[in-house]
Amino acid sequence: MKDKFSSSTNIDNKSEHSNIATQYDARIKQLQANLDDLQIRFTDKHPDVVQTREKLDHLVNLRKTEIEELMTSVADGQVASGTLSENAIVQDLSIAMNNLDSNIASLTVRRQSFKEKLDELDQKLDLIPDIEAKQSALNRDYGITKGKYEELLSRKESADLSRKADMSAEEVKFRIIEPPMVPLQPTGPKRLILYTVVTILGFVAGIAVAFLVSQLNPVVVSANALTELTNRPVFGMVTDIHLEDVKKRDKKRLYVFIASSVVVFGMYLLFMATEIVMETTPLKLLERFL
C-alpha cells in the first residue's frame, strides 16, 4: 500500500513540476524574452544569440536540478513541498558562477570564430608567394614567346620582301589606299604679313623712285642753293609770270598724291579686314557674289 502511494505521489509531482516556483524563473523569462528579440534581429549563429541560448539552457538545467533535489527531499520527508534554498550567499555565488560560465562559453565561441578567420587568412597568406611565383613564370614565358614571335615575324617580312623582289613588273599591282585631295585652305603665304609687307614696300618704292628722279633731273629752288652750287653770288631773282598756274599744278599734284596714298591704305585695310573677319580674300568674296 505504501509503494503504491509513493509511486502515485511521484507521478503527481512530475506532472506538477511546471507549477513549482524556483529562484531561476524570473531570469529564465527574461533570457527567453531577450533571446526572442535577438533572433528577430540576428541569425542563430550570432555570438549574442549563442551566448543567450547557452545561458538559458544553463538556467533551465539548474531549475531542473533544483526541482529534482526538492522532489527528492520531499520524498524523503526532509523538507516540505515548495521549500527552496534560503542561503543568499550560495544563491549569489551560483548566479556569479552562472554568469562566468556564460561569459566563458561566449568567449569560447568568439575565440573559435577568430581562430577560423585566422586560419583562413593564414591560408591566403600562404597562397600569395605561390601566386607571385606563378605570375613571374608566366611573365618570363610570355617574354620568351614574344621574342620568338617577333623574330619569326621579322624573318617572314624579310622572306616576303625577297619574294616580291623576284616577281616581274607585270605581277606588281598598285592600289590607291587614299585618293589625293585638294586642301580647302592654302598652306601659305601668311596673307596678313604679305599685305603689310607689300604696302610698306609700295610706299618705300614710291619714295625711292621720286628721290631717284630728283637726282637725275636736279632743280634749283632757291638763290642760296644756286650760290652753293655755282659758287657765284646771286644779285637778284625774277619771279615766274605764271606763278599762279605753277601753284595750282603743285597743289593738284599734292592732292593726287594724298588721294592715291589714301586709296592704297584703304585697300590695305580692306584686305586685312576681309582676311581677319571672313577668313578669305576680296577676290574670292567677289566671286561668291558674282
**Model pLDDT, residue 11:** 34
Mention every residue, 6+ apart, whose C-beta is less than 8 A from residue 74.
Answer: 13, 80, 81
Q: How much is the average pLDDT of 26-37?
A: 82
Return mean pLDDT, the chain.
75
Instruction: Find, among 91, 82, 87, the residue nearest to 17 by Cα.
Output: 82
The per-residue DSSP string of 208-220 comes to HHHHHHHHHS---
In whole angstroms, give the CA distance from residue 26 to residue 45.
25
**Model pLDDT, residue 83:** 41
- Tell me the C-alpha to C-alpha distance, in Å, between residue 133 and each of 127, 128, 129, 140, 163: 10, 9, 6, 11, 45
Instruction: Name the percent of the chain lying above pLDDT 70.
Output: 76
The model's confidence at residue 138, banded by pLDDT at 50, 70 and 90, is: confident
**Model pLDDT, residue 245:** 82
- Model pTM score: 0.33
Give per-residue pLDDT as tens, 212-248: 887 887 777 777 777 877 788 877 777 666 778 878 8
**Model pLDDT, residue 90:** 52
Q: How much is the average pLDDT of 67-76?
A: 64
Instruction: Name the percent of the chain lying above pLDDT 90.
Output: 5
**Model pLDDT, residue 240:** 63
Indicate left, alpha or beta for 42 from its phi (over 0: left) and psi (-120 to 50: alpha): beta
**Model pLDDT, residue 263:** 92
* Whether 27 contacts 59, CB under 8 Å: yes
- What are the phi and psi torsion angles at 12 (to 5°)? -65, -40
Q: What type of residue sits at position 42? A: F
Mention every residue, 6+ apart, whose C-beta is less than 8 A from residue 75.
Answer: 6, 9, 10
Total residue count of the chain as it appears in this document = 290
Out of 10-24, 30-44, 167-181, 255-269, pick the least confident: 10-24
Give per-residue pLDDT as tens, 45-57: 888 788 888 888 8
In whole angstroms, give the CA distance from residue 206 to residue 89.
130
* Whether 63 contacts 24, CB under 8 Å: yes
Out of 17-31, 60-74, 84-98, 262-276, give the one with best mean pLDDT: 262-276
The model's confidence at residue 7, banded by pLDDT at 50, 70 and 90, is: very low
* Whether 74 contacts 16, CB under 8 Å: no
Mention every residue, 6+ apart, whose C-beta is less than 8 A from residue 276.
Answer: 192
Chain-centre distance for alpha carbon 238: 95
Give per-residue pLDDT as tens, 175-186: 667 777 777 776
DSSP state of 236: -
Which residue carries 591560408 as its cell?
123
In whole angstroms, give the CA distance from residue 192 to residue 169.
50
Out of 121-125, 169-173, 209-213, 230-234, pick the least confident: 169-173
DSSP state of 77: T
Is residue 259 scored above 90 in pLDDT? yes
